[in-house]
Amino acid sequence: MDKMRELTAIINELYALTARLEKMYPGRHFTPDGHLVGSIGEVFAAERYGISLFTAGCETHDGKAPDGRLVQIKATQRRSVGIYEEPEYLLVFSIDAEGCLSEVYNGPGKPVWQLFAGKKRSKTGQYQVSLARLRELNERVSPRNRIPIL
């Protein structure tokens, strides 16, 4: 668990640095985004849940849980996440302004994917789902359908 502690400390430092820059330059945003946020979520999941990560850029799934389940991992600083394809399992994390990650959804991908039935994809080709909706769905996931924390 030492590696998890170090990872958490580094993420917190990164967010503290961006907060300092924003204080120095009011009106400018230095929020980490894009690949950085996604990679933070993936390595956090690898350390916390024992996910074996695939090579970056693999379609649909980002890794495999210790029990063999395929997992897509999403991390965001916003109020929603985008999903391209139906994953077998889905882990979604919210990252706050201090760089703390919290689990939003941990369960099968099917219930999330069913939300998109009959809906149009966004301009980026993704379906958007709010974190509030994911939290609601997460309450219905049974413990045996979750990826366990190490």
- pLDDT band of residue 1 (cuts 50, 70, 90) is low
Digit-coded pLDDT (tens) for 102-121: 999 999 999 999 999 989 88
pLDDT of amino acid 8: 93
The pLDDT > 90 percentage for the chain reads 77
Any idea where the domains of the chain sit in the sequence? 2-141
Using DSSP, state whether 147 is helix, strand or coil: coil
For residue 140, pLDDT beyond 90? yes
2-141 is classed CATH 3.40.210: yes
Alpha helices (H) in 1-150, listed in sequence order: 2-24, 35-49, 110-113, 131-138
